[in-house]
Structure 1
């Protein structure tokens, strides 16, 4: 259980997240993921990173149970830690010195959207779904990253309704590179990563910096702005009220971004 890194192909690092049962990450898990991505990007022998996960889904966001235990004790330490941990992990993916390919299966919710929204490319399995159920979980955030996956008005509709989009729908919008059967997901992501890794390593790093530099939105600043409203919802009691009345529909995992 945790975050691990392997190098199955020349120039490619595969970072695997494993936090059963649904890959809802505790605070330390977000920091561990950030450290792993940064370490891979710093390695001069690595030219591309594949971010993947084990289990039922790619990512279910923040571990709400960890947060509720802390809130029950009268504190907000876990909320603050989760805010900073998510920001670190998202920033690490965005700022990774080499391209990052996200290999997404099953559900990609909450914080998972922050990760894939900051990745350079996404390969998804046919069963992958993407969404921000934040309003159902008493939270806000990661609209910054969902807006990188779908058009603005669709992003708003998905955000307000807590609905999800399929891998096929995101492929039609151009944000998912390829949709494959689940059994072929990691191979397809590695194939793309190997194609990228054939380029000159120094030039790839310059290209990543150049592309980040021309982004129209500062994703780090805009996400931190969103997080302020998440904290306000918690301090005002709105978040607890929503979470206390929330029933998980259709077997979806408990999550918060």
Structure 2
């Protein structure tokens, strides 16, 4: 359990996340992932990183139980905010291209990771979404906006609905959609194509492309997180989290 790095082929680092049962990462898990990505990108022998996950899905976001057990000083919330920001930034600022190999669910923080990747290869069962409003949080609209058009992003965000990998492929944000048994081979195949390029030039290309990005993803995500903290301080986040997974028996429309 945890984050591991292997080298399945020359010039390729495979970073695998494994936090059973659903890859909902605790604070330490996000930091472990950030450290692994930075180390892989800093290795001069690596020209491409593949980010993958073991188990039932790619990523289910943060560990809600860790937030529900938070202390009055909001140490867990602050920790999650900082840790997620570090992991997402580590993907985006990795010195070499990052290919996300997505299977199953890619939710919340998963969208933060995949949205900041350079390329996405997905299993045909993969679904992407931000259930944040159902879980007393906000954030990662920054990254969902990199995957779908603006109005679709807003609709998905407000409804907490998911979108299938096939639709993202139609929008051009997913490179390939393949049967699950072929996902590792397809992701490594794309990584090999990238890793054939000159390593020094790849690093310059990554820096150049990030430099012309129209949105500062680190700043925009941290802006979003401020509203998550505001929701927590105001009590609405705790109220929503405490009701997560419970049926609505009020029979009334929400008014706040």
**TM-score grouping bracket, smaller chain normalisation:** over 0.9
Q: Please give the per-residue CA displacement for 1:9-55, whole angstroms capped at 9, x wherever unaligned.
A: 00000000000000000001000000000000000000000000001
Following the alignment from structure 2 to structure 1, what is the Cα–Cα distance between the partners of residues 18 and 236?
31
Counterpart of 2:69 in 1: which secondary structure? helix
Superposition pairs of residues 120-131 of structure 1, within 5 angstroms:
120-131=118-129
Q: Please give the per-residue CA displacement for 1:84-115, whole angstroms capped at 9, x wherever unaligned.
A: 00000000000000000000000000000000
Following the alignment from structure 1 to structure 2, what is the Cα–Cα distance between the partners of residues 212 and 243?
35
Q: Does 1:97 align with 2:108?
A: no
Following the alignment from structure 1 to structure 2, what is the Cα–Cα distance between the partners of residues 110 and 134?
7
Instruction: Tell me which residue corresponds to 1:26.
Output: 26
Q: Which has the higher contact order (CA 8 A, sep 6+)?
A: 1
Counterpart of 2:214 in 1: which secondary structure? coil
Instruction: Tell me which residue corresponds to 2:47.
Output: 47
Offset of 1:67 from its aligned partner? 1.3
RMSD across aligned positions (CA): 0.9
Q: Which runs of 5+ in 1 are unaligned?
A: 250-257
Q: Does 1:109 align with 2:107?
A: yes
Instruction: Tell me which residue corresponds to 2:73.
Output: 75
Following the alignment from structure 1 to structure 2, what is the Cα–Cα distance between the partners of residues 75 and 22?
28
Among candidates 154, 168, 178, match of residue 170 of structure 1:
168
Among candidates 190, 198, 201, match of residue 199 of structure 2:
201
Superposition pairs of residues 185-200 of structure 1, within 5 angstroms:
185-200=183-198
Q: Does 1:153 align with 2:168?
A: no
Instruction: Tell me which residue corresponds to 1:143.
Output: 141
When the two structures are superposed, what TM-score results if normalisation uses the length of structure 1?
Answer: 0.95
Offset of 1:248 from its aligned partner? 6.7
Kept in 1, the 8 Å contact 2:130–2:140? The answer is: yes
Offset of 1:66 from its aligned partner? 1.1
When the two structures are superposed, what TM-score results if normalisation uses the length of structure 2?
Answer: 0.95
